[in-house]
Amino acid sequence: MTTNPIYLPLLLVSLISCTGQTADSTAGNTREINTSGQPAPKPADSDPYFIHPGGAYSEHGPTSITRNIIQDRNGDVWLATWEGIIRYDGATFTNYTKQNHLRKFHVFSALQDRNGHLWFGTIGAGIYRYDGKNFTNVTTEDGLAHDKQGCFLQARNGDVWIGTMGGISIYDGESYRNLTVADGLADNDINAIVEDRTGKIWIASRGALSSYDGNGFTVIQREDTQAAPTRKNGYAGAFFNVRSVIEDREGNIWFGGNDGLWRYGTDGPTRFAEAFTGYIMEDGGGNIWTSSNAKFGGGQWQLARYDAESLAGNVATPTVILRSQDMLFGITEDTDGNIWVGSLNGVGRYDGEAFDWFRAE
């Protein structure tokens, strides 16, 4: 595997939901970009770290940072990369940013909503919505809290929550409204969010891990003796720089970040790993997958799997699937049971035996 010695700033932002909080409302008078035409010129229409692809079509995958991965209802895999928006249809990688003359910014996240529309979050160009024919670019000019964002969630009521580096924006199908620390958020730089089966919102941010129960916010405290009296986030004993949060099939909340990997159940938080944990995913069999620093250091990262049958107690040893000098990012499972993972140098697909990195030999 190729090692990339250049470590760009890690910007991971996600979304949260705060029903009932005071918010400003702005009409969503967005700009539609027809895929057959060139969008109107905009100032600062590219970022300095954007990786310009050689062409719009390739049999090989991206060679740059791939942050997140989703599979749409048609079975196509979409990649959020430093080279833009890329779709893999099982044979060809198509760069939609180049093909459709979209603004050249890092793409950080992706979502397919209930209508089948695709959403892509960028670092600097706002978001793009794609209805299968046209891309619509939405920025702060249209009411977004910030033009740098990286995660989406569609809530049970259908609203799309957009996490940014300046708070969150909620799209109700017509307009956007924003929430910030002024409305009670623990931190404006949101990394991830999940709505659990009870309706509680769990919010992962650089500042703290918190939850929202419909009435107010609660900062989640560590209950072990290793918790510092006051963390960098300003919250005594709170978890710091939480990067990922999910709910498993049993209703437990898993989260990871600077404090390692934790599971929050009825008996409170339990630590499963000490190393920095970036992404967490539960597969169809109830196994928990993580991307994290390798425990033995040396700058190595690992993709690991906690088997479902080992998670009944409070201690489990994962199976390490991959160790690499590549930093590892988003993880997803496709409909065939393959595990996809992003890296500093593109995307890999694991079939249970070996990885395909979609690279030229």
Domain residue extents for the chain: 52-260
Burial of 221 (0-12, 13-18, 19+ CB in 10 A): middle
Entry pTM: 0.85
- Please tell me the distance from the alpha carbon of residue 119 to that of residue 14, in angstroms, as a whole number: 13
Q: Which residues pair with 204 in a beta bridge?
A: 192, 209
Q: What is the pLDDT of residue 222?
A: 80
d(CA 189, CA 180): 9
SS3 label, residue 183: helix
d(CA 221, CA 205): 14
Query: Which pLDDT score is estimated for 237?
Result: 81
- Give CA 290 to chain center in angstroms: 13
Q: Which residue ranges of the chain lie beneath pLDDT 70?
A: 1-44, 224-233, 295-298, 361
CB 147 within 8 A of CB 140: yes
Per-residue model confidence (pLDDT) at position 42: 52
Alpha-carbon distance 201 to 219, whole Å?
12
Classified as helix, coil or strand, 97 is helix
Can you give the pLDDT at residue 21? 31
| DSSP label of 184 | T
Which residue is it, tokens 């597969």?
283
Class of domain 52-260: mainly beta
* pLDDT tens per residue, range 67-83: 999 999 999 999 999 99
The amino acid at residue 321 is I
